[in-house]
Amino acid sequence: MIRCRPGLVMLCLSVAFVAGCGGSRAPIAPLAMPLDSDTRRSSLGELGRTLFEGLRDGTPNNCFASASELEALIVPEVRFRLERERAESLERVSAARVFRRDWAQARFVGFCAQGAREELAQQSLGLVSGGWVLERILVVADLGEGRPRSAAWLEGGFVYTAQGWKALNIRRIEAPRVQHADLELAPCDVESGLR
């Protein structure tokens, strides 16, 4: 497991990839859930695709909010706790090397989102204003050559913004599983390409 020294954690987060989950330098703020179901599905599909590509390429932290974005999204009282959790998230991300092997030739085919909800300002995630949040997402990969699909859950705090979805932290990354039972059984708030 790779560990960032405490002094490097903020640097690690600051240089996190800014494309994929959005990277505009415009002011960032939590946004409410879009009313249009196609827009909701599309935005979550982009999150799923970005997480898939990050896991496959060994860079799943590319969806993390940067330090300045975090400052704009989270109230100061919660930011210290979240920064500590994010340091632990980076360790989990570094430990997810199995995806580079298992999903090297795979392509993204779908997702299942759970725990999607509107959260008020200054609640459990400490958002500065209310917004649409997500607790976990099942990322689905097609391994090709007629092989069964593979999938893995990522759990954490994700918030929707005008620049796309931003991960505040990642508490758990499940190892990829071929013929994952949740491809058939999982109840999803929003899904695409799952069944």
**Residue 85's CATH number:** 3.10.450
Question: Which pLDDT score, from 0 to 100, does residue 3 have?
Answer: 40
Question: Which pLDDT score, from 0 to 100, does residue 26 have?
Answer: 65
Q: What is the sign of the dihedral through the CA atoms of 10, 63, 134 and 194?
A: negative
Please give the angle made by the CA atoms of 77, 21 and 163, to the nearest 5 degrees.
Answer: 70
Q: What is the mean pLDDT of each run of 10 residues along the chain (195 residues)?
A: 38 35 70 95 96 88 86 92 79 75 94 97 94 98 93 95 93 92 95 87
Other C-beta atoms closer than 10 Å to the C-beta of 24 total: 11
C-alpha 61/C-alpha 79 separation (Å) is 18
The domain tally of the chain equals: 1
Question: Which pLDDT score, from 0 to 100, does residue 170 have?
Answer: 87
**In-domain check, residue 15:** no
Question: Which pLDDT score, from 0 to 100, does residue 21 have?
Answer: 57
Please give the angle made by the CA atoms of 190, 160 and 164, to the nearest 5 degrees.
Answer: 100
The model carries a pTM of 0.83
Question: Which pLDDT score, from 0 to 100, does residue 7 have?
Answer: 40
**In-domain check, residue 152:** yes
Question: Which pLDDT score, from 0 to 100, does residue 20 have?
Answer: 43
**In-domain check, residue 127:** yes
C-alpha 170/C-alpha 50 separation (Å) is 14
**In-domain check, residue 13:** no
Token code pair at residue 180? 């994952």
- The answer for residues whose C-beta is within 8 angstroms of residue 104's C-beta and 6 or more apart is 56
* One-letter amino acid of 168: L
**In-domain check, residue 6:** no
Domain span at residue 52 reads: 29-192
- The answer for residues whose C-beta is within 8 angstroms of residue 34's C-beta and 6 or more apart is 40, 43, 132
- Specify the DSSP element, H or E, that contains 189: none
**In-domain check, residue 22:** no
**In-domain check, residue 185:** yes
Pair type for strands 164-173 and 190-192? unpaired
C-alpha 64/C-alpha 153 separation (Å) is 17
**In-domain check, residue 3:** no
